[in-house]
Amino acid sequence: MLSFLSLDLASLRTTYAAGDISPVGIVVEVFSRIRARGQDNVWIALRDEREVMAEAEMAVARRATGENLPLYGVPFAVKDNIDVAGLPTTAACPAFSYLPTADAEVVRRLRSAGAIVIGKTNLDQFATGLVGVRSPYGAPSSVFNQDYISGGSSSGSAVAVAAGLVSFALGTDTAGSGRVPAAFNHIVGWKPTKGLLSTRGLVPACRSLDCVSVFTLNCADASVVRGVVAGFDPLDPYSRTAAEVGRMEFPAVFRFGVPRSSQLEFFGDVEAANLYAASIARLRALGGRPVEFDYAPFAATAALLYSGPWVAERLAAITPFADLHPEALHPVTAAIISGARGLSAVETFRAFYKLEELRRKAAAEWACMDVLLLPTTPTIYRHAEVAAEPVALNNRLGTYTNFVNLLDLSALAVPAGFRRDDLPLGVTLMAPAHGDGALLELGGRLHAALGGTLGGTTTRLADVSALSKLPDSRAPFHPAPAAPPTAVPLAVVGAHLTGQPLHHQLTSRGASLLRTTRTAPDYRLFALARTNPPKPGLVRSPGFTPTPDEGRPAGIEVEVWSLSTEAFGAFTGEVPPPLAIGNVVLADGSTVKGFVCEPAALEGSTEITAYGGWRAYVAGCGRV
């Protein structure tokens, strides 16, 4: 095994660029590491190694054609409540298992960008728990001590990253499931703004609160992944449109909130309190000014999560399965969810009213600060301790996490150092919705100030940081390849897209895919009347800007294909009116040839701009 090889993105990029190893070799290395760890309770399902190697070979071939792959050859893991085509989704309940035929939207985006799925990871059953032990597939442990819990519910995903088995992993986060395991394994856990990442293809816990989260070895990697997976999904009713997603930046001298000392609770863990104090000092050294705030409304909001109607939402997510198969549920999970059966609509509305009161009080506290700095957890527990008090200790771990999604905050868990017994703990930076980019930048600086190694590996953060400086979260993992000088890039928007009925007109002429991207924001899309096969019409409307109430993403999805000049000429001869080939402006400001439509053809057509693209419209309407 190549135990010296780090799987962080900067190291992988450098290794690939030097030609030292290929994505196929990385797949072999990853499976060797998984076998070497033995029965660690991390995985529920692994893909066939030969199948994964074939996918790696395909990534090499795709890149050779000039396709831009921001996550070229990057291995990743997926929590087993998120669909991966061809692998069963169990949510850690074998009787619930089903075989999805399509990837969850976040998985699809990652694979389109060149990332390679290794397998599905363990979790607290139905993502209910912060301990990582409520699973019939066993309980993973912290990579630093087998006697201590890994944290949950995204237990396997966090351990897979911390142990150096994959570059990053998808988890979920409703009450802290994407942050607590990060703290217990000395890695980064990004809990995005609700709706920033699609939850289509996710087995819900609390559908109105669920977020797909990301575990990485450092904040730069999380920023790269964010650039691939974030974005509007018109088929996810909880997805936020591009017009809703703002950009937040912290001032040079930023104010960070810390609770009053009387409101901090570490349950006797003095070393945890000292690590939190050290993080405050590091953040102050980075230009922050600590501001005391009243934590009471945040704590009261956290208490609502498991004492109000959101427990009923967990029951709603698995009904009628829970009624038909009560014996299939983990005893602790069953006890928690069954408590919702007695809740009334009156109690539900009272909880909604209480939440709005607490949101107003929390907003008043935000007026005096730009970002929050809290312990991720008050402490860490042994497996035996959790077994003796499964509910009480789990609740303690949510002291500083449970309120975040109820208050619509973004959050980022970063390492805070180690206790004297070599067990890690973490802190979490929090900001209002859409503060994700600012949190990742600040979190990267805070992590760098701590230094040390990445997760449970021997790779030092400082060595990785020296390999590459990403200017911002939108920077590509690899520079976008240009079309060959004798080729013509062509943007297709409808029936010529991959998988659509006229796609063969491209492939039969030797066309190769350069990238999937979007048009500039001022384009509109229409389903044309009386076309066979069905086709859309793309029209540019100068001054047109999508607005939140229209539910439109910024721009229309297109694929940019490369054709030889000879093939391009032959192709354009087949384009029937009212379509034509003209100039199309892309999201990055570049201009390529592409399909446009005569405005007169729009009479009797249906505007479908809100879908963000032809594929989403076809999927949403069931059209062929």
Measuring CA to CA, which residue among 383, 448, 71, 435 is closest to residue 256?
435
Query: How far is it, in rounded angstroms, from Cα 249 to Cα 236?
Result: 28
Number of Cβ within a 10 Å radius of residue 392: 9
Query: How far is it, in rounded angstroms, from Cα 22 to Cα 370?
Result: 43
Following DSSP, what letter does each residue of 203-221 receive, concatenated? --SSTTT-EEEEEESSHHH
Query: How far is it, in rounded angstroms, from Cα 242 to Cα 221?
Result: 23
Query: How far is it, in rounded angstroms, from Cα 164 to Cα 40?
Result: 13
Measuring CA to CA, which residue among 526, 539, 511 is closest to residue 604?
526
Judging by DSSP bridges, how do beta strands 289-293 and 255-259 pair with one another? parallel
**Which tokens go with 449?**
């100030």
Following DSSP, what letter does each residue of 493-540 receive, concatenated? -STTSTTSTTTHHHHTTT-EEEEEEEB-TTEEEEE-SS-SS--EEEEE
Query: How far is it, in rounded angstroms, from Cα 474 to Cα 441?
Result: 12
Following DSSP, what letter does each residue of 542-572 receive, concatenated? TT----GGGT--SS-EEEEEEEEHHHHHHHH
Residue found by looking up tokens 């030092």 in the block: 460
Query: Of 112, 135, 177, 473, which residue is the catalytic one?
Result: 177
Query: How far is it, in rounded angstroms, from Cα 168 to Cα 283?
Result: 26
Query: Of 6, 11, 79, 154, which residue is the catalytic one?
Result: 79
Q: Mark whether 155 is an active-site residue.
A: no
Query: Of 6, 135, 141, 153, which residue is the catalytic one?
Result: 153
Residue 216's φ and ψ, nearest 5 degrees, are: -140, 170
Contacts of 529 (CB under 8 A, 6+ apart): 604, 605, 606
Q: Mark whether 605 is an active-site residue.
A: no
Query: How far is it, in rounded angstroms, from Cα 615 to Cα 530?
Result: 19
Query: How far is it, in rounded angstroms, from Cα 417 to Cα 426?
Result: 7
**Which tokens go with 351?**
């909880």
Q: Mark whether 79 is an active-site residue.
A: yes
Q: Which residues are catalytic, by number?
A: 79, 153, 177
